[in-house]
Amino acid sequence: MADDLKPGDRVSWSSHGSRAHGRVVRRLTEQTDVGGHVAKATPDEPQYLVETDEGKQAAHHPSALRKL
């Protein structure tokens, strides 16, 4: 996936052997704590904060996300 994702975009990603679905909350460009996990995002290697349809949040590299 390219770095062209925007907040609100619907995406899916692999999660524990199945596909999770949700939306992009924001682009991360600095180290950020997400639910007890530290996302080591940088301006050169950003990650995306995503939220599942159930309200859980996670950070993923752009390559892990598929735009729906």
- pLDDT tens across 10-43, in order? 999 998 889 999 999 999 999 999 989 999 999 9
- Check: pTM over 0.75? Answer yes or no: yes
Report the pLDDT value the prediction gives residue 35, as an integer from 0 to 100. 85
Task: Give CA separation, 4 vs 10, 29, 39, 57, in Å.
Answer: 12, 14, 19, 20
Report the pLDDT value the prediction gives residue 67, as an integer from 0 to 100. 95
* Per-residue pLDDT at 2 exceeds 60: no
* CA 54/CA 33 separation, integer angstroms: 20
SS3 53: coil
